[in-house]
Amino acid sequence: MRLFTGIQPSGDLHIGNYFGSIKPMIDSQGDNEIFAFIANYHAMTSVNDGEKLANLTMQSAMDFLALGLDPQKTTFWVQSDVKEVLELYWILSSFTSMGLLERGHSYKDKTSRGIGANHSLFSYPVLMAADILLFNSQIVPVGKDQIQHVEMARDIAIKFNNQYGNILTIPEYRVDEDVKTVPGIDGQKMSKSYGNTINIFGEEKKQTKTIKKIVTENVSMEEPKEWADCNVYNITKLFLDDSAQSELQKRYEKGGEGHGHFKLYTAEVIWDYYAPYREKRAYLEANQNEVREILTLGANKARASAQEVIEKVRSATGISY
C-alpha cells in the first residue's frame, strides 16, 4: 500500500507532532511504501521571507531524518524539486469549481476572521490535490483538519477521470483513531498556536523550565496524588514502558513527593529519550551536504514516479501534441 504525506516546514516540532504523526509514520516504514515530502510551496501561504523559508525547509528535512525517517525505505523529497506538481496543479484547476474552493475550511476561516485571503490560500486545496494525484497515492493518513482536503482531491480526480478516462487514482484518507491527543503543559491539546508545547529539539535548560510550568493540582507534598488526570503523568507516560509507568503510578500513590519532583523526572525522561536523535540531528546539521544529497536522490525517485502520471495526463488533455 502506498501511503502519502506532506509535511509543512513550520518550525520547531513538539512532542504532540511526534506521537501524533511522526512516530506512527516512522514506525510503519518497511511495512508500507511511504512517500513523504516537505511542502515548501504550501508554506508560502504563510511564510514570505525567502531566507526563512529556505532555512525552515532544511531544518525540517534534518528533523525528520534525525527522528528516523529512513531514505532507503521512504521516498523523501522537497515539493519544489518535482516541478511537475505545478503543471498538474494548473491542469486540475480546470476541474475545480469555485464553489468547491469556497467551501474550504481554512479559506472560510481566514476570511471570516477578516484576514485578506489571497489566491494561494484559496487554491491551496488544488495544489494539495496535485500533490496526492501526481503519485497515484492510495492512502493519505491525515489529522481531522485535513480530511476535507483529501475529499476535494477525490472530487477533482473523479471530475478529471469522467472527462478523460481512468487516469488518476482516487485516494482515500485515513484518520488513525488510535492516536491520542497529546496534552500541552496547560492540559489543552498541545499546539504551536496555543503556546503550550514541549519541543523535541529544545535546549536543556529551556526544556526543563517549560516542563516546570506544567499545570498541576495543588496538593501538599505528603499527600498521595492522582496520576490518571495529572498532566505531568500523562505527558511522561508517553515515553515510558509499562513497568516504568506502574512504578511512577506507585510514586504518586505513595505520597511524600511533590509535583516538582515528578516534573524533574519528566524533564530527565524526555531529555534521555531524544538523546540519540539529538546526536543524529547535530551530525546532519554539521553535514548538510549529505542532507542535500539525500533530498536530491529522493526527488529523483519521486520524479520517476510522477513522470508516469504526468505523461498520461499530458497526452489525454492534448497538452502533448
Instruction: State the virtual CA torsion across 146, 149, 151, 155 in degrees, nearest 10.
Output: 180
> Does the annotation count 110 as an active-site position?
yes
What is the b/e burial string over 265-276, where b = at least 16 CB atoms within 10 angstroms of the residue's CB? bbbebbeeebee
Based on the shown chain and the rule CB under 6 A, indicate whether residue 16 belongs to the binding site for ligand ADP: yes
Rounded least distance, CB 214 to ligand ADP, Å: 14
Residue 274: φ, ψ to 5°: -90, 0
Out of 143, 165, 224, 260, point to the residue binding ligand ADP (CB under 6 A). Answer: 143
Pairing status of strand 172-174 against strand 139-141: parallel
243 binds ligand ADP (CB under 6 A): no
The nearest distance, CB 78 to ligand ADP, in angstroms, is 18
263 is catalytic: no
Taking CB atoms, the residue at the shortest distance from ligand ADP is 20
CB nearer to ligand TRP: give 132 or 235. 132
Of residues 255-294, which lie at the interface with ligand ADP (CB under 6 A)?
Answer: none
Distance of alpha carbon 199 from alpha carbon 215, whole angstroms: 17
In the set 73, 110, 159, 301, the catalytic residue is 110
Q: Which of 155, 148, 154 is nearest to 175 (CA)?
A: 148
Helices (H), 96-146: 98-102, 105-112, 119-133
Query: Which of 4, 17, 133, 233 touches ligand ADP by CB under 6 A?
Result: 17
Selection from ligand TRP, ligand ADP, none that 181 binds (CB < 5 to 8 A by kind) is: ligand ADP
Q: What is the nearest approach in angstroms of ligand ADP to the Cβ of residue 173? A: 12
Buried b (16+ CB within 10 A) or exposed e, 86-105: ebbbebbeebbeeebbeebe
Q: Is 189 a catalytic residue?
A: yes
Give the shortest CB-4-to-ligand TRP separation in angstroms: 6
DSSP structure string for 135-200: TT--EEE--GGGHHHHHHHHHHHHHHHHHH-S-SPPPEEE--TTPPPPB-TTSSB--GGGT---BS
Sites for ligand ADP among residues 18-77 (CB under 6 A) = 20-21
Is 39 or 267 the residue whose CB approaches ligand TRP more closely? 39
Residues in 179-218 that interact with ligand ADP by CB under 6 A: 181-182, 189-193
Active-site position among 23, 189, 212, 301: 189
Annotated catalytic residue, options 73, 192, 280, 312: 192
- Say which residues have a Cβ less than 8 Å from residue 263's Cβ, sequence separation at least 6: 211, 212, 214, 232
Q: Which does 249 bind (CB under 5 to 8 A by kind): ligand ADP, ligand TRP, none?
A: none
Other CB atoms within a 10 A radius of the CB of residue 288 amount to: 12
62 burial via Cβ count (<10 Å: 0-12, 13-18, 19+): buried
Q: How many residues sit in the footprint of ligand ADP (CB under 6 A)?
A: 14
Q: Please choose which of ligand TRP, ligand ADP, none residue 5 contacts, taking the beta carbon within 5 to 8 angstroms, the exact cut-off set by kind.
A: ligand TRP
The dihedrals phi and psi of 225, each to the nearest 5 degrees, come to -125, 150
- For ligand TRP, the closer of residues 146 and 199 by Cβ is 146
Residue with cell 496520576: 227
**Nearest distance in Å: CB 56, ligand ADP:** 12
Which lies closer to ligand TRP via its Cβ, residue 6 or residue 202? 6
Shortest spacing between CB 39 and ligand TRP, in angstroms:
4
Site residues, ligand ADP (CB under 6 A): 8, 10, 16-17, 20-21, 143, 181-182, 189-193
Query: Which residues does the annotation mark as catalytic?
Result: 110, 189, 192
